[in-house]
Structure 1
Amino acid sequence: MGLLLWAPGAFFFFFAAAALRWGSAAGCGYQSCPVTKPDMLNVHLIPHTHDDVGWLKTVDQYFFGVRNDIQHAGVQYILDSVIPQLLADPSKRFIYVEVAFFARWWGLQTESMRQAVKQLVAEGRLEFVNGGWCMNDEAAVHYSAVIDQMSLGLHFLQETFGECGRPRVAWHIDPFGHSREQASLFAQMGYDGFFVGRIDYQDKVQREAWREMEQLWRASGSLAPPVADLFTGVLPNGYNPPMSLCWDQICSDNPIVDDDSEENNVESLVAYFLGTAAAQANYYRTNHIVMTMGSDFQYENALMWYKNLDKLIKHVNAKQESGIQVNVLYSTPSCYLWELNKANMSWTVKYDDFFPYADGPHQFWTGYFTSRPALKRYERLSNNFLQVCNQLEALTGIQGNMGPYGNANSSVLRQAMGVAQHHDAVSGTAKQHVTNDYAKQLSAGWDACQIVISNALASIVGTKENFIYCTQLNISVCQLTEAAQTFMVIVYNPLARPVGWNIRLPVNGSHYAILSPDGQTVPNEVIPVSSFTRAVRRDRGDAVNELVFQASAPPLGYRTYSISRLPGRGPARSRALKRLHDQPGTEHLSWAIENQHLRVVFDSRTGLLKEIENLDKNISLPLSQNFFWYNASIGNQENSQASGAYIFRPNTSEPFLIAQGAHLYHVKTGVVQEVYQNFSDWCSQVVRLYDGQPYVELEWTVGPIPIRDGLGKEIISRFETNLQTDGLFYTDSNGREILERRRNYRATWNLSQTEPVAGNYYPVNSRIYIKDKKVQLTVLTDRSQGGSSIFDGSLELMVHRRLLHDDARGVGEPLLEPGDYLNGLVVRGRHLILLDTVESSAEQHRLRAQQEYMAPQLVLAPGGGPPYHPGQDSLKEYTALNHALPSNVHLLTLAQWDPNTILIRLEHQFEREESVNGSMPAVVNLQNLFSSFNIISLQEMSLAANQKREDMKRLIWQSAKGAVEQKADSASLDPTQITLQPMEIRTFLAHVQPQASSRRRA
């Protein structure tokens, strides 16, 4: 053996051979679970590590163990250390979660190590739980990105380990609150159960008292049970081990000493453990309890953990001879879940979500709903860009990956987006240098996808253009349009229905001609770049004007617009620029802008919104809107808690006005009408009405938030109306189903409200609304934000925050973003206001919100490029569909799965009984939908596409209303008759053959 110690290869071979011998008859899944004792309290010890995909250190720093001065953590050493321990002892178990880290480690291993690990997985002793690329956030994420990141990780596990790599259990032990939609998605992905670590402290006390730490979560009001039902358990100690039982190298607890020594502590530790287990058992309903033995980045030295756990199991179980009815065993979450299911008990049912989360009376984790708003917007834009990249890659195949602009694929952005969903990434709760790294990874993904999109477009358009992606159009910066006399704009629409879109391009001319593909002249206007924009962009562009026009694009296709600068230096035609006042107070009490659908009235004395009218429905709603700031608490005599990246805690319930009114001027043209409101030198807004559009656009610009007064500030946009709302308001759940919120109320316990503002904030991913019996006011967001209705008839959305103190939740620095010029972050965003009847509002906000997150992609070029193939004609208009999808059906995913297979997801985007027309079942002929390829065969899959739908056999759970068994689809799959029920997503793998010519003119 001494020689083996100096021969790592031989040493490893010994363990690998032993593992193969010991595991020859074993299997994975529930059949691999250890034997328990039905007449005893079974304590399932779960060795685990929680590895944040970036937080205090970057992803690379965590993986390699760099910068241990920040935090001691090296993920590669965890896996290096755990595997030999598992190979040495068949009783030991370990679970792993974050595939972003595991896939990287896997790529560095020898073939012999890979074979040994595969054997461990096949025996169920190394178990993957959750299995996404990361453990995603649940508040600030959009369902589309969640599905993508889960599919990415699960696909890797399937390809690497087959069926034994498929997780049975979802495991969100660290996210700061839990959304109902997340549970619904997990259920549709085929998970049997879900374990969480963090719930509100009052909720937990109540659950412990009522022994409801485990229950059935009915996570959809539209999907028929048990499609979205998910057994959900709250872990007893977060995800940490019980106190005094941590045996990692970064722990300070005493090891178990069981030899002839004065330090022998077996009796005291065993007695303590038995007391802890008995106390925990009082909160749970079966004779099985679970203990998470591990924590953040633990098991770098797995020997320390396993040596002490071996002793714990040995000495506790030895007490059985003296009549102690406790059995301790190595286990996994799925094996614990299996025992709960076999108990055949009836469980209570949960219908709401787990927001907001608080871990104390003044510690509401609702600040992160808004933290780092620029990153939140970049993540949302990156999701949009990834879908475009996926679609064009799927539509053009190898021509998108290898072409005149280089070789690339969508995986770089897909993986960067997977990382960005992490609960310390899009949440905004990482250190500043880590946040910068998240943005850097997304930028690298954009670079790769720009190559894919350029290659794909060139092959479809038929010319090799110098494609340009102007990513700073929101601040009127684009070198091509500012300088060129002529250029072309390709408007690519990723939706499967035709759309119109308002385009704004920075220019230096005053007159332009725009031609559509059919040679028709497109109406346009040239308006001055606002002083607000010039202040934000500084020296990054020099355009004096913006060219504004309305474009349209066919479903899943593009339309090309040719733009020419006309001679002349006169004022832009049809443009009226009028300054209304320099100081609040004029002769007129009000004035308005309006288009065919809406009239927006302003109070000319204050410059604020006063009223909105829906001209189509004859609805008039008094409405004021202004910006306020909450003074961020630094702690007080009552409680030391400060506002920070996680926590929102205003110093008082009443916010401060940034200004009593706004200085303003307006621009009226035939294409757009704009009112420019200046509230201060760091807060401004443009109110817009586009011709023919049924919404009001509010483009707000906030920052740098001033802090010279020593006060941290949390900025809100507040809307006030006379609607009688009775304490109710409504928010979306990750962009899908709508949840009713009631002020100062929780559905599952009697709330003691200690923070009347922060305790009523909820995540808003895409929309928030209030209504009475007739009228509904909806505000759509362009990123995730915190929102609420603090008093009846009001809505507010937090748009930005800048804080001077850390909130003591681990990040160790205040949320004090420096911005590009190091004087504070400036953020620009959009809110869309929709006013309609209650009966008609659903279709409006559903379709408009979808169009916002799947917005058309603009690709510009000087024009005049050479043919893609000699003699090939240029195609100025194109669609990949033979017909548009019904308005209530969304093409959620179109992506390359392998060289001959396409991943397709169709989604019904309305809830049950939400809309008279929209909520009707929809039928799609998938066989005849696409013009660029023929579907040779079709296989329906689970939502994450890692399991055939007909093979999904989830555990059946009893509730107070009885067990509901999911019915298997008896009818064979007919591609010409794909039926979708409200809120249903159906996922397919299509084996395809490209058509001879995929360049289909729209």
Structure 2
Amino acid sequence: MAAGKQQLPVALLFILGGVWSFPLVQDTKPAAKLCGYESCHITKPNMLNVHLVPHTHDDVGWLKTVDQYYYGDRNDIQHAGVQYILDSVVDQLLKNPDRRFIYVETAFFYRWWKQQSSSMQQTVKRLVNEGRLEFVNGGWCMSDEATTHYSAVIDQMTLGLRFLNDTFGACGRPRVAWHIDPFGHAREHASMFAQMGYDGFFFGRLDYQDRDHRMIEKEQELLWRASDSLTPPMADLFTGILPNGYNPPEGFCWDQLCHDPPIRDDPDLEDYNVDDVVNRFLVIANSQAMVYKTNHIIMTMGSDFQYENANLWYKNLDKLIHYVNAQQANGSKVNVLYSTPSCYLQELHRANLTWSLKRDDFFPYADDAHDFWTGYFTSRPALFPLVGLDTDFHTFRAMAVAQHHDAVSGTEKQHVANDYARRLANGWQHCQLLISNSFAALSGSFLKRNYCDNLNISVCLPTEILNKFLVIVYNPLARPVTWPVRLPVNGTAYAVSDVKGKPVDCQVSVVPVSKATQEVRRNRGFAINELVFQVQAPPLGYTTYSVSLIQDGPPPASTQRRTPTGIQNKFLRVTFDPDTGLLSSLSNLETKQSIKLTQNFYWYNASDGNNTESNQPSGAYIFRPNSSTPFIISKTAKTETIQTSVVQEVRQWFAPWVSQVVRLYADSKALELEWTVGPLPIDDNLGKEVITRLDTSIKTDRFFYTDSNGREVLQRKKDFRPTWNLKQSEPIAGNYYPINSRAFIKVCLSKTHSPSEIHLPPLQLHRRLLYDDVRGVGEPLNETSDIFPEGLIVRGRLLLSLEHPAAAADLHRPMAEQEVLQPLLAFVDGDLSPNIRHEFSGLQAALPPAVHLLTLTQWDKDSVLLRLEHQFQSRESKLNSQPVTVNLQKLFSTLVVLGVSELNLSANQWKDKMTRFDWTPQKGTGPLQTGCRILLE
């Protein structure tokens, strides 16, 4: 593979044996296929064509669980039953060949499909082949765009699209991406959709100021240039903003959940209303046409969980089309037709216009002056660590559901969040069995392997009770890693040997379990110490370490209660203020760079909605602090210092509910800040939004940088939007952006503004709120559990480095990659045995630093799906942004590659067969921000 500028991978299908072909296109029956663009109804060039799109939006969990939504259970919470929607729609489509319907969430359709008879399945295939039932988007769910990692998004899209492809062939392939409900839109999602072969993308939510500007300029349809690195039009995606979110025009909702009057067309009755309906519709259509560029407009005729009784909708839509079009005989220039997003898109493409160009993203999203949907970036932080599992099919589906925009986002009811967690936990149990079987096959040993899910709070029964055990370290990355292992133990001295029996004593230490950790784990473990040592794991493989108890006794680590002046290794020096116990500076000993740096914890009082500016409270979606100035939790920190040859720690206590460990490993170029926050006290009847803030002497002129879904980095500027003149009404919430893996600032100097000292953007860590934000959930974000009835405790880690900008990316990208795909540990009772294979690598050699192995999964019995990506942006790194060549024949240690076929990113089209619409951007649109000139040379 030759990789130039940064790009997401195409998928490669490896043929491992025999003669084999993959059924990308599968005939369902001999009947002719008129799906896709060929199935669109004819429009009228000299009229305003109104494309009516019957649709339903079926959340894969929100107010009810996935199961409850599918079966129509718990209608006391919300009336919704997806199985009845699909039953009813299919029945109604068969009654009129002009009718159309689109469906989105494959997770629900997959369930429904499995329950249908063979004859019904053939009927549905006919509807799909004729374009009457069309799939849009096609992922397992409609994913969130702020809090998801790009690798999980690709996986859940692949899961859904593969089912559609295997079931319906080419006619099941969606042409349009459809994210009508997520709360802001990421550039990386648009880039992925483009590389998956979509011709266009439609969504419903954008900032109210942005929409107002675009309506005036007729720029609600645009060309999104979604990557700074990919050569246009590879990541260009036509993007349309829907006129009513995803709801029908006011007065034209005919679902059983709606209250608008039906079309009463019997002239003998007193309540005949056809003339009124037609006139109102014509006014709405012509008004909508005023803010779009072509003689085609789209109307979404449906909403959340609608069409359970599809007859209500279709009977009225049939009449609407008939009576509005009948007015053409009287000179009307409005033509109404059943349509789909792809048919509408085709007409926009045929218009052959130029379109404004956008290069940034659609964050943050606000629907009013004081209503910024930035709270969900942090809602339910305890759920986040569970949603990145790479697993078997059972867990794959649980992972895919968790990417839903009301799952990982934290914007669901509490009982639904519990259901997501249960599904992920059950999936992880399946995955452990799969991993154990893989270890057994590779090693030749069928000894029981144990997994410890609570190592982050020093709970692991095998290491706590065994005097001798093996630690199996699996590395999912395609490069070797060095990783610090921390195991809860009850001894004070241990011998640790690598796979060759070589002692690693110089890299082993024992430290006492912190008071904060003991409080978090409660009665779930009893270790008094932590065994700390560095492991080295081969690329895409595992190695084994032997651990043996030497002695019991008091902790041998040097513990100091006084505040340290500093800690350092060969790369970094960190100093602390002796009066406050807080960080005071950070120095890079290699580059001789040093900055003032202080860090502390604060909380914003969450708005209860009772103030003069707005009645909007803070909730699961909305972040709205009562003041721009947060409360400091404590101006000082009590400290305790641990110093060993492997690790140095300064343990800080700010309050009974906030503590932190400042940690520096011997060979690390990053300072680790492990924070523990909670339970958030609410005895004062105040909801709390907890942040940490790093104040620094770096001059930035308001610029900072955040990643997009863990991949490319975007430049941000405080109180600024690249595409419209922002009127900032919420100075805190209006400057919040999602961060999935990294954020940074640069020393820089602007030609037009004097640089000022600012702090890094505050990082929100935890939320506990007392009011609902009136966005549908109907309950406050106030989480408790059986273990923590007084409120949840959240623990996380920040890695902090100080680098020259030219070298920063070479450190940060691999570091972020390793954090997302941490080594997996398994434990076995006993010692190293000469009859067991204790080390294995799936690669003949490690991949270059610029290349990441994103996917390697069994596709069928003869083939695997491989995704390789060049993970550095263009011009990001002087060394690693350069082209890289990988020899696939010499890549794997156990696989024999007989052939390779290249697919698109979602693996549902052959790459050389994939064609997309071409679009022409307006000249001079979408300027990039100029940013800063780097001072450190």
State TM-score, norm by structure 1.
Answer: 0.88
Which AA in structure 1 matches 2:621?
Answer: Y
Whole-angstrom CA distance in 2 between matches of 1:365 and 1:597: 40
Whole-angstrom CA distance in 1 between matches of 2:526 and 2:113: 49
State whether residues 700 and 828 of structure 1, in contact with CA within 8 Å, keep that contact through their aligned partners in structure 2. Answer: yes
Which AA in structure 2 matches 1:359?
Answer: D
Whole-angstrom CA distance in 1 between matches of 2:685 and 2:306: 39
- 1:321 matched to 2:329? The reply is yes
The correspondence of residues 669-818 of structure 1 with structure 2, limited to 5 A, is 669-773=644-748, 792-818=758-784
Whole-angstrom CA distance in 2 between matches of 1:791 and 1:532: 34
Aligned residue number for residue 478 of structure 2: 496
**C-alpha distance 128-962 of structure 1, shift in aligned 2 (>3 A):** farther
Whole-angstrom CA distance in 1 between matches of 2:861 and 2:715: 44
1:228 to partner: Cα distance: 0.2
- 1:303 matched to 2:287? The reply is no
Question: What CA deviation, in whole Å up to 9, does each residue of 1:342-391 have, x standing for no partner?
Answer: 111111111110000000000000000000001012223x3xxx1xx4xx
**C-alpha distance 315-499 of structure 1, shift in aligned 2 (>3 A):** same
- 1:524 matched to 2:498? The reply is no
- 1:667 matched to 2:634? The reply is no
Selected match of 1:459 from 441, 464, 470 = 441
Question: What CA deviation, in whole Å up to 9, does each residue of 1:371-421 have, x standing for no partner?
Answer: 0001012223x3xxx1xx4xxxxxxxxxxxxxxxxxxxx001100010000
- 1:653 matched to 2:628? The reply is yes
Which AA in structure 2 matches 1:376?
Answer: F
**Identity score, percent:** 60
Aligned residue number for residue 282 of structure 1: 290
State whether residues 702 and 800 of structure 1, in contact with CA within 8 Å, keep that contact through their aligned partners in structure 2. Answer: yes
Moved more, 854-863 or 324-333: 854-863
Task: Give SS of 2:801's match.
Answer: strand
Aligned residue number for residue 615 of structure 1: 589
The correspondence of residues 861-880 of structure 1 with structure 2, limited to 5 A, is 861-863=828-830, 873-880=835-842
- 1:340 matched to 2:348? The reply is yes
1:472 to partner: Cα distance: 0.2
State whether residues 23 and 119 of structure 1, in contact with CA within 8 Å, keep that contact through their aligned partners in structure 2. Answer: no
Aligned residue number for residue 814 of structure 2: 847
The correspondence of residues 494-573 of structure 1 with structure 2, limited to 5 A, is 494-522=476-504, 523-569=507-553, 571-572=555-556
Aligned residue number for residue 561 of structure 2: 579
Aligned residue number for residue 822 of structure 1: 789
Whole-angstrom CA distance in 1 between matches of 2:722 and 2:743: 19
Which AA in structure 1 matches 2:847?
Answer: L
- 1:93 matched to 2:100? The reply is yes
Aligned residue number for residue 64 of structure 1: 71
1:960 to partner: Cα distance: 2.0
Whole-angstrom CA distance in 1 between matches of 2:368 and 2:86: 35
State whether residues 774 and 838 of structure 1, in contact with CA within 8 Å, keep that contact through their aligned partners in structure 2. Answer: no
State whether residues 700 and 749 of structure 2, in contact with CA within 8 Å, keep that contact through their aligned partners in structure 1. Answer: no
Question: What CA deviation, in whole Å up to 9, does each residue of 1:239-286 have, x standing for no partner?
Answer: 000001000001000000000211111001100000000000001111
Whole-angstrom CA distance in 2 between matches of 1:792 and 1:124: 56
Aligned residue number for residue 868 of structure 2: 906
Moved more, 560-569 or 713-722: 560-569
Whole-angstrom CA distance in 1 between matches of 2:763 and 2:550: 43
Which AA in structure 1 matches 2:534?
Answer: Q
- 1:199 matched to 2:206? The reply is yes
Aligned residue number for residue 132 of structure 1: 139
Which AA in structure 2 matches 1:245?
Answer: F
1:864 to partner: Cα distance: 6.1
1:23 to partner: Cα distance: 11
Task: Give SS of 1:82's match.
Answer: helix
1:935 to partner: Cα distance: 1.1
1:873 to partner: Cα distance: 2.6
State whether residues 701 and 749 of structure 2, in contact with CA within 8 Å, keep that contact through their aligned partners in structure 1. Answer: no
State whether residues 465 and 863 of structure 1, in contact with CA within 8 Å, keep that contact through their aligned partners in structure 2. Answer: no
State whether residues 500 and 551 of structure 1, in contact with CA within 8 Å, keep that contact through their aligned partners in structure 2. Answer: yes
Aligned residue number for residue 180 of structure 2: 173
Which AA in structure 1 matches 2:578?
Answer: S
Aligned residue number for residue 275 of structure 2: 267
Aligned residue number for residue 430 of structure 2: 448
Whole-angstrom CA distance in 1 between matches of 2:554 and 2:759: 47
Task: Give SS of 1:425's match.
Answer: coil
Aligned residue number for residue 401 of structure 1: none
Aligned residue number for residue 12 of structure 2: none
Whole-angstrom CA distance in 1 between matches of 2:497 and 2:480: 19
State whether residues 132 and 152 of structure 1, in contact with CA within 8 Å, keep that contact through their aligned partners in structure 2. Answer: yes
The correspondence of residues 388-427 of structure 1 with structure 2, limited to 5 A, is 389=391, 410-427=392-409
Moved more, 238-247 or 633-642: 633-642
Task: Give SS of 1:83's match.
Answer: helix
Which AA in structure 2 matches 1:507?
Answer: V
The correspondence of residues 140-289 of structure 1 with structure 2, limited to 5 A, is 140-259=147-266, 260-289=268-297
Task: Give SS of 1:242's match.
Answer: coil
State whether residues 725 and 793 of structure 1, in contact with CA within 8 Å, keep that contact through their aligned partners in structure 2. Answer: no
The correspondence of residues 71-82 of structure 1 with structure 2, limited to 5 A, is 71-82=78-89
Which AA in structure 2 matches 1:815?
Answer: L
**C-alpha distance 925-710 of structure 1, shift in aligned 2 (>3 A):** same
Which AA in structure 1 matches 2:340?
Answer: T
State whether residues 773 and 838 of structure 1, in contact with CA within 8 Å, keep that contact through their aligned partners in structure 2. Answer: no
Which AA in structure 2 matches 1:858?
Answer: L
Whole-angstrom CA distance in 2 between matches of 1:958 and 1:919: 28
Aligned residue number for residue 8 of structure 2: none
Task: Give SS of 1:146's match.
Answer: helix
1:454 to partner: Cα distance: 0.2
State whether residues 693 and 759 of structure 2, in contact with CA within 8 Å, keep that contact through their aligned partners in structure 1. Answer: no
Aligned residue number for residue 366 of structure 2: 358
**C-alpha distance 36-539 of structure 1, shift in aligned 2 (>3 A):** same
Aligned residue number for residue 782 of structure 1: none
1:571 to partner: Cα distance: 4.2
1:863 to partner: Cα distance: 3.0
1:953 to partner: Cα distance: 0.6
State TM-score, norm by structure 2.
Answer: 0.94
Which AA in structure 1 matches 2:813?
Answer: R
Aligned residue number for residue 890 of structure 1: 852
Aligned residue number for residue 928 of structure 2: none
Aligned residue number for residue 437 of structure 1: 419
**C-alpha distance 54-568 of structure 1, shift in aligned 2 (>3 A):** closer
State whether residues 177 and 198 of structure 1, in contact with CA within 8 Å, keep that contact through their aligned partners in structure 2. Answer: yes
Task: Give SS of 1:666's match.
Answer: strand
Task: Give SS of 1:719's match.
Answer: strand
Whole-angstrom CA distance in 1 between matches of 2:920 and 2:497: 64
Task: Give SS of 2:348's match.
Answer: helix
Whole-angstrom CA distance in 1 between matches of 2:262 and 2:30: 30
Which AA in structure 2 matches 1:765?
Answer: N
Which AA in structure 2 matches 1:616?
Answer: E
Whole-angstrom CA distance in 2 between matches of 1:282 and 1:301: 34
Question: What CA deviation, in whole Å up to 9, does each residue of 1:922-965 have, x standing for no partner?
Answer: 110111100111111111000000000001110111112499xx
Structure 1 stretches of 4+ with a deviation exceeding 4 A read 22-26
Aligned residue number for residue 920 of structure 1: 882
Aligned residue number for residue 858 of structure 1: 825
1:905 to partner: Cα distance: 0.2
State whether residues 484 and 533 of structure 2, in contact with CA within 8 Å, keep that contact through their aligned partners in structure 1. Answer: yes
**C-alpha distance 263-702 of structure 1, shift in aligned 2 (>3 A):** same
State whether residues 489 and 528 of structure 2, in contact with CA within 8 Å, keep that contact through their aligned partners in structure 1. Answer: yes
1:792 to partner: Cα distance: 2.1
Which AA in structure 2 matches 1:729?
Answer: F
1:637 to partner: Cα distance: 2.1
Question: What CA deviation, in whole Å up to 9, does each residue of 1:740-780 have, x standing for no partner?
Answer: 101111111111100000001000111111111499xxxxx
